[in-house]
Amino acid sequence: MIFVLRKICNLHLALVCVLLVGGELHAQDEKPRITDVEIGFDGAYKLGCWTPVQVILEGGSIPLTGVVQVTVPDGDGVPTTVISPFNRPVGIEPGRTTTVNLFIRVGQSAAPLEAKFITADRKNSVSRTFFAGPESGDGVIAGGLPATNRLIVALGPALGLGDLLANESVDELSRTHLVQLQSTAELPTEWQGYEGVETLILTTSQPEVYRPLIQNAARVEALRKWVELGGKLVVFCGSQAEELMGANGALTELVPGKFTEIVDIQQSQPLETFSGSEQAITSDRRVNFQVPVFTGIRGRSEAVARRGTLEVPLVIRSYLGFGELTFVGLDFDKPPLRAWPGRVGFLQRALELGDSRTSQQGSNETIVQTGEDIVTQVRNVLDQSFVGVTVVPFALVAFLVVGYILLIGPGDFYLVNKILKRPEFTWISFPLMVAGVSAGAYWYANWQKGDQLRVNQVVFVDFDATTNTVRGTAWTHFFTPQVAKFNLSFRPPLPDSTAVQGLPLVAWLGQPGYALGGMQSSSGQTSLFDRGYEFSPALDAMNDVPVQLWSTKTIIARWVSKTPVPLGLSLSRTDDQLLAGSIANQSDMALADCVLLYGQWAWDLGQMPAGTTVDLSTAKQPRMVKTLLTSATAGDVTITNTAADGTVPFRLAQEDVTRLAKTMMFFHALSGDRYTGMLDRYQSFLDMSHFLDQPDLAVLVTKGGDQGGQWLNGDKPLGGDEDRNWVYNRYLLPVGPALENEKLTSEQ
C-alpha cells in the first residue's frame, strides 16, 4: 500500500513539474519578438545625420501595448536613445507584424544598434542588438556612410545613372552613393529623415508609383519641407505631368510654376546644346517629346525649345523656400533619350554633381583636397576660442610626462641614495613626489582651463522676404570644467509674438572624417558613460547628456518660423545685369557689415543704422562675389597679406570664424573645394550659392548681434557672461525686371 501511495505521489510531482515547465514555456511564447530593423534608404545612411529607422515586431500570444526605443552611440561614443511617443502607445497583436517608424542619428561607422519594446509592467519587454557589417542581414545592419559622402536617392523608373557616376571619386571620404527606391512607402514621414540626402531624384513616367501620395499627405509635406529648409530636388516629368502636376496631383506642390498643358516638341537641338554633345539623339534628328508648359515660372529657364511663338523650357532652375528645385520636362528613362550617348553630359549638367557649381575669378591659389569637411575646421576654431580656457600644447604635455618619469625614476633614486643616503626613504619620497606632481598638474590644468562653463556659438538666421519664412541653424560648442549632466533644449531668437513652426530640432553635431574624435575612426570613441542620454519623443530636447571633466560637446539646433522681414525693398535689375533701387532698414537695430549679392556681383554697404535707407546708386562700386567675401577686411580681423587680386588665401583665413562662415554660406560660389581644399557636404544645406543664379533674387548678408538663441539646461540658460556668439543673417530679396525699375523712377 505504501508503495502504491509513493508511486501516486511521484506521478503527482511529475505532473506538477510538467505543468510548471509548460507554463514557463507558455509565458515565454507570449513575449513578442523584434524580427528586424531597416535603417536609412535601402540600408544607406550618413553618419551624424538624422535617418529613418523601422523596427519590425512580431506579436506573441497576447495583445500588448508599450513603447519602442532605439539606442545608438553619438559622435563621442555616448549611447543615445530615441523613443516612440508616450501618448501614442505601440500596439502588438498576436501573430501579427507591427512596424514602428523612428529617426536616429548614428555617430560611429561600426556602431551596434539596440532596439527595445517596453511594456508598462516591463514583464513582456524584449530587446535585440544588431551589429554593423558591410551588408545588412539577419541581426546585422549596414555601417553608416561617411558624413562627407554624397548620398543620392532616386524614386521611380531608373535613369541609368551608373555611367554618370563611373567617373566619380573612389576616395572613401568623398564617394557618391546612389540608392534606387521602388515605392513611396520608403519615403520618410518627417522632413529630418532626409537630412543625410544630398539630392532626391523623382522620375515620373510610371505615375502609379506616385498615386499613393495623394492619400498620404504626411510624406508629401515632409518632402516639401525638407526642400524648403535647404534640400535639393530634381524632377523629371514629361508625358505624365497632367496627372501628377495638375490640380490635386500628387506632386503639385513640387513644381516651378502652374501647370497648364502638355505640348509636343520636335526639336532636339536645345537638348544637344545643353549636354555639350555633338551626337544626335536620333540618326535622322526626328524626335517628338511631350513636354509640360507652366505659367508664372519661378526661376531660370534653360534648354528652351520653341513651338511656334511659344517658348517651352526643357530645364528650369527653380527654388522652393531655401532649397533647390530643378525641373526637367522630359522622360529620360524612355527611348530615344534612354539610349542617347549624350545623355551622360545632359544628366551631369542637370544634376550639378560637380563640387564647384560656379567658378568666379579670384586667387589662383589652389589647395590640394584633404577629404576633410569644413565643419571640422569650424569646430577646431571654436574649440580654441573659449574665453579663459587655454589649450595646453601637446609638446608641453609630452615634456611634462618625460619630466615626471625622470623625477619618480632617476630623480627619486638619486635623492634617496646619493643625497639622503637612506634607500628606505623611497617609501616616503616616492608617494610624496606622486602626490605633489598630481596636485601640481591639477592646479595647472585648473588654472589653464578655469572653473566656469563656457559656450561658443555660430548662428545662421535666414529670412525669405517673399514668404516671411525664417530658417535658423545654431552650432554650439560648450566646455565644462567638471563632470556633469545636462538637460538641453533650445529657445530660438524670435520676437515673443512669433510662433515656431514645429518645435526646434536639437541634436549632437559630429566631426566628419578619420581624425581623433572623428565619426569615421575605425576604433571609434570610447565613452566613460554607459547609460547615455535620451532624446525627447519630439526630438526637441536631450535629457541627461553626460560630459566628462574638462571636455567639450558640440550640439546643433534647427528651427523654422514665420515673421515679417524688417526691410523696405525696391530692387530691380538693370540691362547690364546689375542692381538698382534701395533697401531700407525698418528694424529698431543697426545692421552691421552689410553685403548685397546678386549674380556674380557684391556691394559692400557697410553699416545700416535703424531707420536708414541705402540707395545703390550712391553705394560703392560692386566687386566680384569671391573678391569681396574673401577680401582683407571680410573677417573678424583684417589680414593685409593678400593675393594680387586682393583676396586672402585660405591658409591665412582658416582660423577666422567669420571668414569660415562666409565660405560655408556661399561655398560653391567661391569655388570652395578649390579655395579651401575641403569638402562641404555635412551641413551643405547652409550653402545659398544657388540663389546667385536666380535673376529674380538677391541676397543681403549682415552680421547680427550677440543673441543668436539660447540653449537651456533645464529651465536655466546654458553659459555665462563671457560666452561668444557669431550671428549671421541672410535675407532673400525679390528683384524686379528692368522695366519695373523705370516705372518706379517715373512714379517717384
Query: Tens digit of pLDDT for each residue in 489-521?
Result: 999 987 765 666 777 999 999 999 888 888 987
Residue 205 falls within a domain, yes or no? yes
Of 525, 541, 562, the position where a domain reaches its end is 562
Within a domain: 139: no
Domain match, 153 and 295 both: yes
Chain position carrying cell 520608403: 186
272-282 pLDDT tens trace: 999 998 899 99
Quick one: 431 and 504 in the same domain? no
Per-residue pLDDT at 717: 94
Q: In this structure, are 285 and 432 located in the same domain?
A: no
Residue spans of the chain under pLDDT 50 = 1-9, 11-28, 356-364, 740-748
Please indicate, yes or no, if residue 487 is contained in any of the structural domains. yes
Task: Specify the pLDDT at position 138.
Answer: 86
In the prediction, which pLDDT does 366 show? 52
pLDDT number for residue 528:
61
pLDDT score of 22: 44
Within 8 A by CB and 6+ apart from 312, the residues are 263, 265, 291, 293, 304, 305, 306, 329
Residue 492 sits in the same domain as residue 417: no
Positive or negative torsion for Cα 488, 493, 499, 504: negative
Q: What pLDDT is stored for residue 472 in this prediction?
A: 96
The cell 508648359 sits on which residue?
293
Cis previous bond, 336, omega within 30: yes
Whether residues 278 and 177 share a domain: the answer is yes
- Give the number of domains in the chain: 4
DSSP 586-635: -SSSPEEEEEEEETTEEEEEEEE-TT-EEEGGGSPPPEEHHHHHTBTTSS
CATH number at residue 334: 3.40.50.880
Position 315 in a domain = yes
Say if 159 falls within a structural domain: yes
User: Is 78 within the bounds of a domain?
Assistant: no
Question: Domain containing 524: what range?
Answer: 454-562
> Does residue 507 share a domain with residue 462?
yes
Is the C-alpha dihedral spanning 518, 524, 530, 534 positive or negative?
positive
Contact predicate 254/235, CB 8 Å: yes
Whether 671 and 694 map to the same domain: the answer is yes
Q: Are residues 343 and 460 in the same domain?
A: no
97-105: strand order across its sheet: 33-39, 50-58, 97-105
187 and 286 together in one domain: yes
Cross-strand bridge partners of residue 71: 81, 114
Residues 568, 152: Cα–Cα separation, whole Å? 40
Domain final position from 535, 562, 589: 562
407 and 461 share one domain: no
Q: Are residues 617 and 604 in the same domain?
A: yes
